[in-house]
Amino acid sequence: MNLYWECIGYLGTALVIVSMTMTSLTRLRLINIAGSAISAVYAIKAATYPVALLNLVLIGIHLFKLIRGFCREKTYTLFPIESGALLRHLLTAFGLTHSQADGKETYLLYQKNEACGIWIGKKKDTLFDAETVRLLPKHRTKALYAAFLDGIPQYGITALSLPITHTKGIKHLAALGFHEENGHLVATVSSKIKN
């Protein structure tokens, strides 16, 4: 093997290693596909066919998972929850007490029959001032806030306010249009209110 092919092999290896440091699963898969493809070419040139087969199988697995992930429906449904048994059950499931929802509006966000997040607060004109927000950890926070902002106009709300103390990942929320205002993060809904 000459130096050119050795460098190709090292490049493939480096990309596979770098892919393992990614926090985004999509980015991990894309970089790993590139590294595995380069490594497979190198392995074929070096006549190490088991290594080539391994890399080709990895490419197939990553492509399958990427396609399946992009095709999966990611729609959320948002609706208000009135007082009653369902509200009590949801509050318990999210580790909240009934007193935290007394006299306040409560909204539930769910996907595929699974509760993903609950917002409790007061509506002031067209502003929803969220006092308590609970999200399931397995869902991406940014995606849930985006879904909430997409769904809330149908209830006559054009802005969302969150206390900064209840928010994690403020920089992710800034990407959704949240800005700091009087100790709160505020975002205006860009879509029109649906009647």
Answer yes or no: are the C-beta atoms of 90 and 82 closer than 8 Å. Answer: no
Residue 192: pLDDT band (50, 70, 90) is: very low
Pair (82, 59) in one structural domain = no
The tally of domains found in the chain comes to 2
pTM of the model: 0.59
Q: pLDDT for 93-139, tens place per residue?
A: 888 888 888 889 999 998 877 888 899 999 998 999 998 888 887 77
Pair (53, 91) in one structural domain = no
Among 86-90, 104-108, 134-138, 166-170, top mean pLDDT goes to 104-108
Note the helical H segments in the chain: 3-19, 25-45, 49-71, 85-93, 141-151, 170-174
Domain end residue (candidates: 18, 42, 71): 71
Pair (51, 103) in one structural domain = no
Pair (96, 168) in one structural domain = yes
- Tell me if 125 is assigned to some domain: yes
Residue 80: pLDDT band (50, 70, 90) is: very high
Domain end residue (candidates: 71, 99, 118): 71
Per-residue HEC secondary structure of 55-107 comes to HHHHHHHHHHHHHHHHHCCCCCEEEECCCCHHHHHHHHHCCCCHHHCCCCEEE
pLDDT tops 70 at residue 66 = yes
pLDDT tops 90 at residue 61 = yes
Mean pLDDT over 139-166 rounds to 83
pLDDT tops 60 at residue 76 = yes
Mean pLDDT of the chain: 85
Pair (45, 90) in one structural domain = no
Nearest Cα to 162, choosing from 131, 122, 194? 131
* Predicted pLDDT at 71: 65
Mean pLDDT over 26-47 rounds to 94
* Predicted pLDDT at 170: 67
Residue 37: pLDDT band (50, 70, 90) is: very high
- Tell me if 35 is assigned to some domain: yes
Pair (56, 150) in one structural domain = no
Nearest-10 crossing angle of helices 25-45, 3-19? 160
Pair (53, 131) in one structural domain = no
Q: Where residue 104 sits, what CATH number does that domain have?
A: 3.40.630.30
Domain end residue (candidates: 55, 71, 87): 71
pLDDT tops 50 at residue 195 = no
pLDDT tops 90 at residue 50 = yes
Pair (87, 129) in one structural domain = yes
Pair (97, 170) in one structural domain = yes
Nearest Cα to 141, choosing from 163, 174, 114, 113? 174
Residue 48: half-sphere exposure toward Cβ, Cα within 13 Å? 11
Q: Which domain holds residue 49?
A: 3-71
- Tell me if 193 is assigned to some domain: no
* Predicted pLDDT at 176: 81
Pair (159, 111) in one structural domain = yes
Please state, for a pLDDT cut of 70, what percent of the chain lies above it: 90
Mean pLDDT over 56-80 rounds to 84
Which residue bears the tokens 């997040």? 117
Pair (86, 165) in one structural domain = yes
